[in-house]
Amino acid sequence: MTTRRTILGATAAAPLAALGLAACSGDEGSGVVLRVGELGAAPVTQELFKAAGLDQDLPYQIEWKQFVNAGPEYIEAAGADAVDVGYTADTPLIFAASNGVGLKAIAVATLEDPNASGNAILAGPGTGITAIEDLKGRKVSFQEGTITQYHVVKALESVGLTLADIEPVNLPVVDANTALANGETDAVATLGIYWTQAEANGATVIATGSGLIPGNSLLSARTAVIDDEAYADALADYIDRYAQAQEWRYANVSEWAGIYAGLTGLDASLIEATETRAPVVLGPVTDEVIAQQQDQTDVYTALGIIDQLDAADQFDGKFSSAFEA
């Protein structure tokens, strides 16, 4: 596994200095509580921070929030001022903007290998589906308002089909594999460990996200927190620690897979396969990322799901200078 340097520098002081911010002392930061959203059923980021030794000497407090139903639930919580920062795929930020939720991306995780992908559309065993074209008239599950829906739209578009040509089944990724295994759906759009599990249970990949969707993920924060100077140091420090955590994760895949297995009860070999499939690196908001987000935003507008939006409004580059080496 190729390791990489920490994008933001070896310590939190470096990015803080780059931003012209002073590092918080324990007393100065003692009143700041950063409520961090974790998508999924397991406290993965929290445990990753512990494993990488990044949960020590925090100049602020972290209150972890678990969102089992992923992006949509996180967006709802942000709109209710119940969470401050979180890591999601790129799609939820579009729906946050559409619904007037004050949430913006402050850092972007992009694929280390642009030809890789963490997303896949898989056909159930015995369905006879071997290509995207075969999805016509079949039951295909995805979760509306997430990257899985966008993946299906782009995959169908690539062969001249639309959502009207399939029978969509709206299911969270945590439930979709069960429906596929039970024959309730013919194919599933999924990601991460759910992809690995589906494949292990006999499903066949008919399309990854490569060449169809960019595969970006976003570290986002509520605008009220971004604009609050009392939180500026905390956010800069958290961005740095998150980048370091990802670096440690990919440099210690076997160790991390064992920890992850202990959290979830999943097979460590499946986790390791997932972790090595599509490594990402955290970086700043860029014009390219905004353009990719605009393309996805326009797809949902064309579907009549949202009104026209300017994707640039979904980002805040305030912390981007922290990534400058």
User: In this structure, are 24 and 54 located in the same domain?
Assistant: yes
pTM score of the predicted model: 0.86
Q: Which two tokens stand for residue 151?
A: 């993946």
Question: Residue 200 falls within a domain, yes or no?
Answer: yes
pLDDT in tens, 24-62: 333 444 589 999 999 888 899 999 999 999 999 999 999
The partner residues of 122 in beta bridges, in order of sequence, read: 188, 205
Range of the domain at 34: 13-113+215-323
Q: Are 256 and 284 contained in the same domain?
A: yes
Same domain (yes/no): 143, 76: no
Same domain as 84, residue 138: no
- What is residue 288's predicted lDDT score, i.e. its pLDDT? 97
Final residue of a domain: which of 208, 228, 255? 208
- 239 with 308, same domain: the answer is yes
The answer on 219 and 79 residing in a single domain is: yes
Domain count, the chain: 2
Grouping H, G, I as helix, E, B as strand and the rest as coil, residue 121 is strand
Burial group, residue 283, by CB count within 10 angstroms (0-12, 13-18, 19+) = middle
Instruction: State which of 190, 208, 226 marks the end of a domain.
Output: 208
The answer for residues whose C-beta is within 8 angstroms of residue 24's C-beta and 6 or more apart is: 32, 59, 60, 233, 234, 237
235 and 100 fall within a common domain: yes
pLDDT tens-digit readout, 185-220: 999 999 999 999 999 999 999 999 999 999 999 999
Mean pLDDT of 117-130: 97
Q: Residues 67, 39: contact at Cβ < 8 Å?
A: yes
CATH number for the domain harbouring residue 238: 3.40.190.10
Mean pLDDT value across residues 143-156: 93
Residues 18 and 104 both lie in one domain? yes
Q: What is the mean pLDDT of residues 252-277?
A: 95
The side-by-side arrangement of strands in the sheet containing 204-208 is: 167-170, 139-142, 187-191, 119-123, 204-208
Specify if 203 maps to a domain: yes
Structural domain ending residue among the three candidates 187, 208, 229: 208
Judge if 109 and 135 occupy the same domain. no
Tens digits of residue pLDDT in 63-106: 999 987 778 889 999 999 999 999 999 999 999 999 999 999 99
Q: Is the pLDDT of residue 21 over 70?
A: no
Q: For residue 63, what are the β-bridge partners?
A: 35
**Residue type (1 letter), 105:** A
